[in-house]
Structure 1
């Protein structure tokens, strides 16, 4: 028996609306480990930034509150053991198995840090564009609560099937286009979204930081056929999934999935090989020009801080 399974209703809901919340599905011991890792990575990034240096894998914003970490990328290289344990967890195995399917591999793993306004705003965007012949998932694992009305994610259900007129939607509707859904989450929740769904988030009003681990999963055949990355890059992701299979409960992995090589090298060797073949993530699609609306991107009651804030374009 599987340790975690999606229901038929959950699968239908995801197919129809393009996102799905799985409450409390990320184990508490992994939440705690990632919280500790996030604190260490944040300290590391800010120390490098204080020396006037830049890192390929993190982005620090200098805003009125001082330097604040926005995103730490490429976690495969920075927290490899924890990455494997996370990908091998029951809910993540279920998503790979039931929503992604044979050939599922991890593409990118990032930590996103959302601080109190004034701070860069995540505007309306759609993730990496593709021909949709294969699934492409972006999975958010929440390390902190995201309250309704406090800059949690907003989705436009059903928008994942093609490019949306983001300029027009933002100009006419701001943060409230027809059908928009505001999706709060709690620490330990898993929020899985179709990579192409239209989404964004308003400024965070409360104090403190909200941290979310994002994991992209896609069949490796899709990477090969689309040539979005090199064949070597794609095959390295298969070997990462071999490491996951070796650590996961056998009950969670389909016996007929024979598309992965035997895990032969050590994890540190695989990290070194992956670092040597680093390639950037595919870009998101956003408005083609600056958009003005009385409530977008900064709501009117926060406009007195508008000059201190900015819109940030982060890949997701």
Structure 2
């Protein structure tokens, strides 16, 4: 399995790219069951008034709904490693991130019908752009056109934009906007700085998407946004991913760079959990937008 030059060039030009049928059916089913358990656990904790910092619960609809669950490595390390070591993801790291690729953080977003939250226009994690920095979306459910799927404005990844001015003038329909649907088992990769959003979902049920950020370790250390110790633990995380992957898919230089894991997986998870450091914050409109169709579409007001 290799990523075509057309896909690579599309990503470099537009800042996002879609891969169909990227997960095996077996792995997809495992991840769906995992996300079901996470949601049940989060809601149980919410109703018993337990504070759990990994979870964000929305009550906008009057019914508690899980919006996001972060740090999935802490919940099922073996399944996380299996997923990150799957063939398509390995090819994404090789082709779109390159040498020294490491995972930064991994969470799942649950999207329910309006008035459950939508995602307004934003750019994730502004940085110097000397190294690739990707967000990989792994779809556990279908995301359909006109149903709150991701919206991108192609070729906007190169600099910080005036998001307030753009969204205030155009709402959801910034010039050249592209809606990108996906099916369960697909992957959408986007440059962390491409302008993107996700409007109101209209169909029933949840749409679950796993998001994992990847970056070369040199990009982390040279940015100074996280410590070298934090970055080294991510390198160890990647060493476990490489060990679990098909050996024939891993370049020899990667074996030499990452080496054998220094810690067993259980110990590594404890070390990562004991050293939290905040991610680079995303950029949104600096004040509330006034627009007749944004962020809430006029027919839903």
Smaller-chain TM-score bracket: over 0.9
**What is the Cα deviation at residue 279 of structure 1?**
1.6
1:151 aligns with 2:148: yes
**What is the Cα deviation at residue 189 of structure 1?**
0.4
TM-score, normalised via structure 1 length: 0.93
Map 1:63-102 to 2 at 5 A: 63-102=60-99
**What is the Cα deviation at residue 124 of structure 1?**
0.3
Contact 1:238 1:261 in 2 (8 A): no
> In 2, distance between residues paired with 1:213 and 1:123?
18
Give runs of ≥4 in structure 1 deviating > 6 Å. Answer: none
**Aligned position for 2:175:** 178
What are the ranges of 5 or more consecutive residues in structure 2 without an aligned counterpart? none
1:224 aligns with 2:229: no
**What is the Cα deviation at residue 254 of structure 1?**
0.8
> In 1, distance between residues paired with 2:43 and 2:279?
23
**What is the Cα deviation at residue 56 of structure 1?**
1.2
**Aligned position for 2:188:** 191
Within the candidate set 8, 12, 21, 2:9 is matched to 12
Q: What do the CA deviations read for 1:198-236 (whole angstroms, capped 9, x no partner)?
A: 000110001100000001000011111101111111000
> In 2, distance between residues paired with 1:295 and 1:54?
35
> In 2, distance between residues paired with 1:20 and 1:101?
16
Within the candidate set 129, 135, 140, 1:132 is matched to 129
> In 2, distance between residues paired with 1:228 and 1:26?
32
**Aligned position for 2:264:** 266
TM-score, normalised via structure 2 length: 0.98
Q: What do the CA deviations read for 1:170-190 (whole angstroms, capped 9, x no partner)?
A: 011000011000000000101
**What is the Cα deviation at residue 283 of structure 1?**
1.0
> In 1, distance between residues paired with 2:163 and 2:250?
39
